[in-house]
Structure 1
Amino acid sequence: MLSHSLQYVVFVIAVFALYWAVHRHYWPRMLLLLAASLLVYVSFLGVPLIAFVGGMPPGELVVKLVPLFIFLAGVTVDHLLVKGMGATERPGLRKALVVLSIVSNLGLLAGFKYLELLRRTVSSLLGPWGVEVRPEPFHLLLPVGLSFFVFQAISYTVDVYRGKASSEHSFVEHLLYMLFFPRVLSGPIVRASELMAHFREVPTLSSDDGNKALFRIAVGLVKKLVIADVLGSGIVDPVFGSPHAYSSAECAVAAVAYTLELYYDFSGYSDIAIGVASLFGFKFPENFARPYLAKNLFEFWNRWHMSLSSWLRDYLYIPLGGNRRSKPRVCFNLMMVMVLGGLWHGADWRFAVWGAVHGVALCGVRCWWWFKGKQQEPGPARVAIGMLATFTLVVLTRVVFRAPDMAHAGEFYARMLAGIPGLANVGPLVWSMLAIAVLAHTLPMKLYDTAALVFLKMPAPARAVVLVLLGLGIRQLSTLETRPYVYLQF
Structure 2
Amino acid sequence: MLFPTLEFGIFFLIVFTIGWSLRASPEGRKYFLVGASYLFYGWWDWRFTGLLFATTLINYLAGLALGRLSRPGLRKLVVGLTVVVDLGVLAFFKYYGFFLTSLDEVLTALGLHRDLPFLEIILPIGISFFTFQGISYVVDVYRGHIAAERSLLDVMLFKSFFPQLVAGPIVRAADFIPQINAPARLTREHVAIGTVLVLTGLAKKMVIANYLATELVDPVFFDPTAVGALDLLVGIYGYAVQIYCDFSGYSDIAIGIAALLGYRFRENFDQPYRASSLQDFWRRWHISLSTWLRDYLYIPLGGSRYGEAKTYRNLFLTMFLGGIWHGAAWTFVVWGAFHGAMLGLERFVRAKLDELAPPHADEEGLLTKIGNFAQHVVGIVWTFHLVCFAWIFFRSDSFGTALDYLKGFADWTGSHDHATPFLVGLVALGLFFQFTPRNLGRELALSIRALPAPLLGLLLGAGILVIWAAAPEGVAPFIYFQF
Structure 2 CA distance for aligned equivalents of residues 268 and 348 of structure 1 = 25
Task: Pick one of 228, 231, 241 that aligns with 1:247.
Answer: 228
Structure 2 CA distance for aligned equivalents of residues 315 and 330 of structure 1 = 15
Structure 2 CA distance for aligned equivalents of residues 464 and 22 of structure 1 = 21
Letter of the 1:366 partner, please give it.
Answer: R
Structure 2 CA distance for aligned equivalents of residues 35 and 324 of structure 1 = 45
Look up the match of 1:71: 52
Contact 1:224–1:265 at 8 Å: present in 2 too? yes
Closer, same or farther in 2 for the Cα pair 1:447/1:142, shift >3 Å?
closer
Look up the match of 2:43: 43
Cα offset, 1:423, TM superposition? 3.4
Q: 2:449 is paired with a residue of what secondary structure?
A: helix
- How many correspondences in the alignment? 471
Q: Which moved more, 1:433-442 or 1:290-299?
A: 433-442
Look up the match of 1:10: 10
Cα offset, 1:459, TM superposition? 4.7
Alignment of 1:24-103 (within 5 A): 24-45=24-45, 65=47, 67-103=48-84
Letter of the 2:432 partner, please give it.
Answer: L
Task: Pick one of 239, 243, 251 that aligns with 1:258.
Answer: 239
Q: 1:132 is paired with a residue of what secondary structure?
A: coil
Look up the match of 2:271: 290
Look up the match of 1:442: 435
Letter of the 2:137 partner, please give it.
Answer: Y
CA deviations over 1:262-289 (Å, ceiling 9, x no partner): 0011101001111111112111111000
Q: Can you give the 5+ residue segments of structure 2 that lack an aligned partner in the other structure? A: 358-362, 364-368
Look up the match of 1:129: 110
Closer, same or farther in 2 for the Cα pair 1:426/1:266, shift >3 Å?
same
Q: Which moved more, 1:117-126 or 1:328-337?
A: 117-126
Q: 1:379 is paired with a residue of what secondary structure?
A: helix
Cα offset, 1:42, TM superposition? 0.6
1:456 is aligned to 2:446: no
Structure 2 CA distance for aligned equivalents of residues 386 and 171 of structure 1 = 48
CA deviations over 1:393-415 (Å, ceiling 9, x no partner): 11111111111111111111111
Look up the match of 1:199: 180
Cα offset, 1:197, TM superposition? 2.5
Contact 2:196–2:444 at 8 Å: present in 1 too? no
Alignment of 1:39-438 (within 5 A): 39-45=39-45, 65=47, 67-135=48-116, 137-373=118-354, 379-420=372-413, 422-438=415-431
Structure 2 CA distance for aligned equivalents of residues 384 and 157 of structure 1 = 42
Letter of the 1:452 partner, please give it.
Answer: A
Closer, same or farther in 2 for the Cα pair 1:473/1:86, shift >3 Å?
same
Q: Which moved more, 1:363-372 or 1:412-421?
A: 412-421
Contact 1:343–1:351 at 8 Å: present in 2 too? yes
Cα offset, 1:129, TM superposition? 2.1
Relative contact order, higher structure (CA 8 A, sep 6+): 2
Contact 1:116–1:137 at 8 Å: present in 2 too? yes
Contact 1:119–1:134 at 8 Å: present in 2 too? no
Letter of the 2:399 partner, please give it.
Answer: M
Q: 1:23 is paired with a residue of what secondary structure?
A: coil
Letter of the 1:190 partner, please give it.
Answer: V
Look up the match of 2:467: 474
Contact 1:88–1:94 at 8 Å: present in 2 too? yes
Structure 2 CA distance for aligned equivalents of residues 168 and 424 of structure 1 = 58
Contact 1:221–1:268 at 8 Å: present in 2 too? yes
Cα offset, 1:465, TM superposition? 4.7
Structure 1 CA distance for aligned equivalents of residues 436 and 197 of structure 2 = 17
Letter of the 1:42 partner, please give it.
Answer: G
Structure 2 CA distance for aligned equivalents of residues 447 and 478 of structure 1 = 23
Closer, same or farther in 2 for the Cα pair 1:458/1:82, shift >3 Å?
closer
Cα offset, 1:85, TM superposition? 1.1
CA deviations over 1:213-251 (Å, ceiling 9, x no partner): 111111111111111111111211111112222210011
Cα offset, 1:89, TM superposition? 1.3
Structure 2 CA distance for aligned equivalents of residues 366 and 469 of structure 1 = 48
Q: 1:444 is paired with a residue of what secondary structure?
A: coil
Look up the match of 1:51: none
Structure 2 CA distance for aligned equivalents of residues 274 and 76 of structure 1 = 26
Q: 2:425 is paired with a residue of what secondary structure?
A: helix
Contact 1:350–1:406 at 8 Å: present in 2 too? yes
Q: 2:244 is paired with a residue of what secondary structure?
A: helix
Look up the match of 2:366: none
Structure 2 CA distance for aligned equivalents of residues 463 and 29 of structure 1 = 24
Q: Which moved more, 1:464-473 or 1:272-281?
A: 464-473
Contact 2:137–2:173 at 8 Å: present in 1 too? yes
Q: Which moved more, 1:73-82 or 1:249-258?
A: 73-82
Contact 2:189–2:445 at 8 Å: present in 1 too? no
Contact 1:178–1:184 at 8 Å: present in 2 too? yes
TM-score by length of 2: 0.93
Q: Which moved more, 1:420-429 or 1:102-111?
A: 420-429
Contact 1:257–1:434 at 8 Å: present in 2 too? yes
CA deviations over 1:342-400 (Å, ceiling 9, x no partner): 00000112111111111111011111122222899970111111111100011111111
Q: Can you give the 5+ residue segments of structure 1 that lack an aligned partner in the other structure? A: 48-64
